[in-house]
Copies of this chain bind each other. A is one copy, B any other.
Amino acid sequence: MILTQINLIFFLCLPIFSIFSASCYHLLDPLTPFELTQVQTLVKNYFSLPPQNVSFHYVGLDEPEKSTVVSWQSSSGNQEILFRRAFVIVRVSSKKTHEIVIDLLKNLVLRDEVYDGYGYPLQNFAEQLAADKLARSYAPFIAAIERRNLKLEEVVCSTFTVGWFGEEKSSRLVKVMCYYMDGTINLYMRPIEGITVTVDLDDMKIVGFRDRVMVPVPKAEGTDYRESVERKSSSDSNVKSMAGEKQVGPGFTLDGYIVRWADWELHVSFDMRAGLIISLASIYDQEKGEYRSVLYRGFVSELFVPYMDLTEEWYYRTFFDAGDYGFGLCAVPLEASRDCPENAMFMDGYITSRDGTPGLMPNVVCVFERYAGDIMWRHTENEIPGQGIREVRPEVSLVVRMVSTVGNYDYIVDWEFKLTGAIKVTVGMTGLLEVRGSIYTHKDQIQEEVYGTILAENTIGTHHDHFLIFNLDVDVDGDANSFIKTTLETARSTGNSSPRRSYWRASSKTAKTEADARIQLGSGATELLVVNPNKKTKVGNFVGYRLIPGAVIGPLLSDDDYAQIRGAFSKYNLWVTPYNKTEKWAAGLYTDQSRGDDDLATWSLRNREIENKDIVLWYTVGFHHAPSQEDFPIMPTLSRSFELRPTNFFERNPVLKAKLSQEIIGPHANLSASFQ
């Protein structure tokens, strides 16, 4: 959960700025290094305080209204940029959170508002590092480490947000929890249990210390996951694998932040909080001869990760990874042939440090064309005498990927665009579990609730959840859309008209308001459809896109649990709201110690009208994770997906005419697809 990305390359912006030529400058492009420096300068001058008294917590693009973007876009993007603003969150020495809007074109601070609600902005790396350092130099902490016969130089600490449990007053606290290396770099498998150091981040002072209990630190042996670590081969059996890939291409183009591939065009951006943002995804309709909008914007709005351990060192672990730590801030550089295939192209991102200095995050997004051996459509026809018909179109898709390593966990987020018009979103989870040190070395010894599975000696893999909520601002062939819930329901055959006794029919209901739309999936058979009620196909169906869930889960915390109050978005698998520029973050803008009073669940209580409006879907991909020994000492990726699939959006199968190039016919030629 804690990040000390000290190996980022900070730099002055000008040399990099040169790559952003006017021609690839888009209204939705993330702030350039030049602009980030401009923000830094303006904010510093505005406050006239010593640099250490102004702490930057977020700098990002303050997006224009959607109507501005759409009209700008429709002029083929050749219009002058007349709107370019930054949104900034800083804390100043008076312990106030300021929300600042900057006009970058006019080079001035447009607005400065002090936020006086509950919750705090996301932590920057510098203050996390400082808190860790403070703890490690604190005499009682050092004594506690000595009492455990541990070497201080092998101790690594992390700052954890503290959650909220009904306290009336709050200050900006974190708990510092520590781990032990001494023979491994897999610190997460070696928690030092029992010691809690509480730090006030604003004052950067220790305000609490507790050494409650001594528990063995799990052993280092077998926890290191590096390839470079020498290991005895446990077998020299014939289990060798050789798989290779060499992909030609790429078949896509990057033009600034615009990606074009096959019939798709989309804008790929990066934000300190959200990470990867997909905007303005539209698909060229071969039959209509025009681009048609699908998704105005899509991004991970929040990640809620509550742990299920009630003990003192664990109960508060109810993290909001995006709001507390920054899903973009925690993004990691990706490497070809490892994180992404050899044929991938990469995009950089920029973040800011505590004092507002921009920093490069190289290769933070990769884009690649995927061929996984799958079939897009096929048919073998043996019915027609004398004709052996076999038509097959292999599946090729475009993947846009980000990986965010929020402390121990690595989240892989893939946006996959298919030739069929479908958008498949996959979340993969890998990295390291958050484990609890324990006295137990065998399951048979355990007679109490340990809140997890014993994974190795002295090591409990704690039960926990992950709820990733996606903000999906669909614009299905325009921005006026309606959400239709279609229930497949059993119907009885009436009269004696048919020997059949039953069938199912599709009963559709257009959601008038937010309350009509939200849904807990699971037991019933329901189809989730977004249509443009103003546009029909030739045979009269509303043009639409369907959201096809994968495995769905709901929350298991009680409604009155503080964590659940704060993560109330997890109550429904899907919410639908009218578009509102300020409603971006499902658990609120300030999640650290939030109280659930300004979040999706609260906004949605207004029960606004959503029929034939510009609507936003909020869909949650969830995991209940009861770890197993295979997750130790590092987890194999666990994935879940959902898909947005065209449904009467096209007049017919849009890839009917997809062709295989002639050159692939030979048995050893490359596969390639071309589209006319």
What residues of B have a CB within 8 angstroms of the CB of A428 in the complex?
A: 374-375
Tell me if B505 and A451 are in contact (CB < 8 A). yes
Measured CB to CB, the closest approach of chain B to A652, in angstroms, equals 5
Interface residues of A, count at CB 8 A? 198
Tell me if B241 and A262 are in contact (CB < 8 A). yes
What residues of B have a CB within 8 angstroms of the CB of A375 in the complex?
A: 338-339, 403, 412, 428, 430, 637
Question: Contacts A287-B234, A394-B337, A522-B523; is A245 near B247 (CB within 8 Å)?
Answer: yes
Interface residues of A in 186-218 (CB under 8 A from B): 187
Measured CB to CB, the closest approach of chain B to A454, in angstroms, equals 5
A442 within 8 A of B: yes
Interface residues of A in 360-406 (CB under 8 A from B): 368-385, 387-392, 394-396, 399, 403, 405
A15 within 8 A of B: no
Give the residue name and chain of the B residue nearest to A338 (CB): B392
Q: Mark A641-676, 1 if CB is under 8 A from B, else 0.
A: 000011111111111110110001001111111111
Give the residue name and chain of the B residue nearest to A232 (CB): B676
A619 within 8 A of B: no
Measured CB to CB, the closest approach of chain B to A580, in angstroms, equals 30
What residues of B have a CB within 8 angstroms of the CB of A371 in the complex?
A: 243-245, 341
A352 within 8 A of B: no
Tell me if B669 and A337 are in contact (CB < 8 A). yes
Give the residue name and chain of the B residue nearest to A156 (CB): B383
Give the residue name and chain of the B residue nearest to A166 (CB): B499
Interface residues of A in 422-454 (CB under 8 A from B): 422, 428, 430-432, 441-444, 449, 451, 453-454
What residues of B have a CB within 8 angstroms of the CB of A549 in the complex?
A: 551
Measured CB to CB, the closest approach of chain B to A303, in angstroms, equals 17
Tell me if B374 and A637 are in contact (CB < 8 A). yes
Tell me if A244 and B671 are in contact (CB < 8 A). yes
A557 within 8 A of B: yes
Tell me if B245 and A637 are in contact (CB < 8 A). no
Question: CA A531 – CA B4 in complex, angstroms?
Answer: 42
Give the residue name and chain of the B residue nearest to A636 (CB): B420
Which of A37-45, A109-117, A485-493, A591-599 faces chain B?
Answer: A485-493
Question: CA A206 – CA B380 in complex, angstroms?
Answer: 29
A630 within 8 A of B: yes
Which of A26-34, A266-274, A308-316 faces chain B?
Answer: A308-316
A146 within 8 A of B: no
Give the residue name and chain of the B residue nearest to A317 (CB): B500
What residues of B have a CB within 8 angstroms of the CB of A165 in the complex?
A: 499-500
Tell me if B384 and A181 are in contact (CB < 8 A). yes
Question: CA A390 – CA B339 in complex, angstroms?
Answer: 10
Question: CA A637 – CA B339 in complex, angstroms?
Answer: 27
Tell me if A635 and B244 are in contact (CB < 8 A). no
Which of A86-94, A95-103, A219-227 faces chain B?
Answer: A219-227
Measured CB to CB, the closest approach of chain B to A566, in angstroms, equals 12
Tell me if A156 and B226 are in contact (CB < 8 A). no
Which of A46-54, A70-78, A466-474, A536-544 faces chain B?
Answer: A536-544
Tell me if B338 and A419 are in contact (CB < 8 A). no
Tell me if A262 and B245 are in contact (CB < 8 A). no
Question: CA A563 – CA B333 in complex, angstroms?
Answer: 55
Question: Contacts A243-B369, A246-B246, A486-B626; is A656 near B633 (CB within 8 Å)?
Answer: yes
Measured CB to CB, the closest approach of chain B to A12, in angstroms, equals 22
What residues of B have a CB within 8 angstroms of the CB of A421 in the complex?
A: 630
Measured CB to CB, the closest approach of chain B to A10, in angstroms, equals 15
Interface residues of A in 529-579 (CB under 8 A from B): 536-541, 546, 548-554, 556-558, 560-564
A335 within 8 A of B: yes
What residues of B have a CB within 8 angstroms of the CB of A161 in the complex?
A: none
A67 within 8 A of B: no
Tell me if A377 and B241 are in contact (CB < 8 A). no
Give the residue name and chain of the B residue nearest to A264 (CB): B239
Tell me if B244 and A670 are in contact (CB < 8 A). yes
Measured CB to CB, the closest approach of chain B to A413, in angstroms, equals 12
Question: CA A501 – CA B522 in complex, angstroms?
Answer: 25
A118 within 8 A of B: no
Give the residue name and chain of the B residue nearest to A675 (CB): B239
Question: CA A501 – CA B166 in complex, angstroms?
Answer: 11
Tell me if A626 and B289 are in contact (CB < 8 A). no
Give the residue name and chain of the B residue nearest to A227 (CB): B659
Tell me if A405 and B382 are in contact (CB < 8 A). yes
A2 within 8 A of B: yes
Question: Contacts A463-B504, A564-B502, A636-B376; is A525 near B629 (CB within 8 Å)?
Answer: no
A82 within 8 A of B: no
Tell me if B653 and A634 are in contact (CB < 8 A). yes
Measured CB to CB, the closest approach of chain B to A571, in angstroms, equals 13
What residues of B have a CB within 8 angstroms of the CB of A357 in the complex?
A: none
Question: Contacts A500-B315, A503-B309, A630-B420; is A670 near B248 (CB within 8 Å)?
Answer: no
Tell me if A339 and B4 are in contact (CB < 8 A). no
A3 within 8 A of B: yes
Give the residue name and chain of the B residue nearest to A179 (CB): B383
Tell me if A388 and B227 are in contact (CB < 8 A). no
Question: CA A647 – CA B453 in complex, angstroms?
Answer: 11
A611 within 8 A of B: no
Give the residue name and chain of the B residue nearest to A631 (CB): B653
Tell me if A488 and B624 are in contact (CB < 8 A). yes
Measured CB to CB, the closest approach of chain B to A642, in angstroms, equals 10
Question: CA A248 – CA B489 in complex, angstroms?
Answer: 50
What residues of B have a CB within 8 angstroms of the CB of A310 in the complex?
A: 493, 497-498, 500, 503
A632 within 8 A of B: yes
Tell me if A243 and B239 are in contact (CB < 8 A). no
Most buried by B among A431, A501, A636: A636
Give the residue name and chain of the B residue nearest to A526 (CB): B624
Interchain residue pairs with CB less than 8 A apart (21): A3-B383, A7-B388, A185-B387, A235-B286, A237-B289, A244-B371, A245-B245, A315-B500, A337-B664, A338-B375, A338-B378, A339-B375, A376-B637, A377-B636, A378-B412, A463-B505, A488-B624, A502-B556, A502-B558, A628-B647, A630-B653
The 9 closest A-B pairs by CB, nearest first: A443-B540, A372-B372, A244-B670, A165-B499, A244-B248, A242-B251, A504-B556, A502-B558, A310-B498
Known contacts A333-B390, A492-B558, A501-B560; 6 additional CB pairs below 8 A are A241-B672, A243-B249, A340-B373, A377-B635, A463-B506, A632-B652
